A and B are shown apart, each in its own frame.
Chain A
Amino acid sequence: MTPDAARARSLMTRGVVLTVLALIGQAAVMLLAIQFTPVEARQGMAQKIFYVHVPAAVIALWVAVPLTAFAGLLYLWLHDPRLDRFAAASAEVSTVLCGIVLATGPIWGKPIWGTWWTWDGRLTLTLFLFFLLLGYHTLRAAIRDPGDRARFSAVLGVMGLVLVPFIHLSVYLWRGLHPQPVVLKPSAPSLPPEMLRTLLSGFAVAFLLYLGFVTLRYGIQLARDAREAAHAG
């Protein structure tokens, strides 16, 4: 077994452990939200969607997409295949998190706004980011040469980062229906302590899910690359 194949095995094992722990954590956060977090008086139980929706959005926008872009930028400079592998893994997890955001948001919007979807600035830009991430994967699948694939997808990954500040500021710039931030804002979080505790647990678990998924995905790609290198050699 080559050193890369051995490292891939170790990463995949670590990724599976982290992912399983994070999934258990996610179930615990849902239980915490349903059973031990107060019901918001005006929105009712639908407000509890917040504890799944917001952590997925924050980790996607402030961790996954920026790390995809930074890894892509560094790849363009250093041409290290590890950076491309990491960027591809992070982009795939960003797509999953964005999908969760776009699926749970409308389920909250229907009882609270009375509509599943509105072309509000934040919603629309998040949908654009999701399409851009789908484009990223399509591009990677379409290019055979590893160098070209890494270079072109790195550029597209950076484009995703450009959307992030607009998505964050959209609620101030266009004042649509989407609520303004209650935690990620210059002043103190405007949430009761019990709700804040559940939300922070949600952030921790979403971050752990990101780590588990990326470790596992990176390990799979490393194993694939090691296998292809062994066949070529």
Chain B
Amino acid sequence: MQADTTRAPADTVALTAPAEVPFMPPHNGGYMVAAYVVAAAVYLVYAASLILRARAERR
């Protein structure tokens, strides 16, 4: 007699969530924070370098 492969055994769980469970986005906010910090740092350092160069030229 062959085993019925179309039905999941009673001790397994479905890998896909039921339709009523909302889809959860991945938790990767740390990457966003890192990118924003890097961008802000580059802009601020460049702005500071320009302002310091301008101040030196004014003297």
Contacts and interface: CB of A to CB of B under 8 A. Distances in A.
Given A45-B29, A216-B51, A52 B39 contact: yes
Main secondary structure of the interface of A (DSSP, over half): helix
Interface residues of B, number: 25
Nearest to A96: B46
A103 B38 contact: yes
Interface of A: 8-9, 12, 15-16, 19-20, 23, 26-27, 30, 34, 39-46, 48-49, 52-53, 56, 96, 99-100, 103-104, 107-108, 110-111, 209, 212-213, 216-217, 219-220, 223-224, 227
A56 B35 CA distance: 13
B19 to A, nearest CB: 15
B54 A12 contact: yes
A23 B39 contact: no
Contact of A223 (B29, B42, B58): B58
A224 B53 CA distance: 10
Interface string B2-36: 00000000000000000000010111110110111
Contact of A8 (B31, B44, B47, B57): B57
A27 B43 CA distance: 11
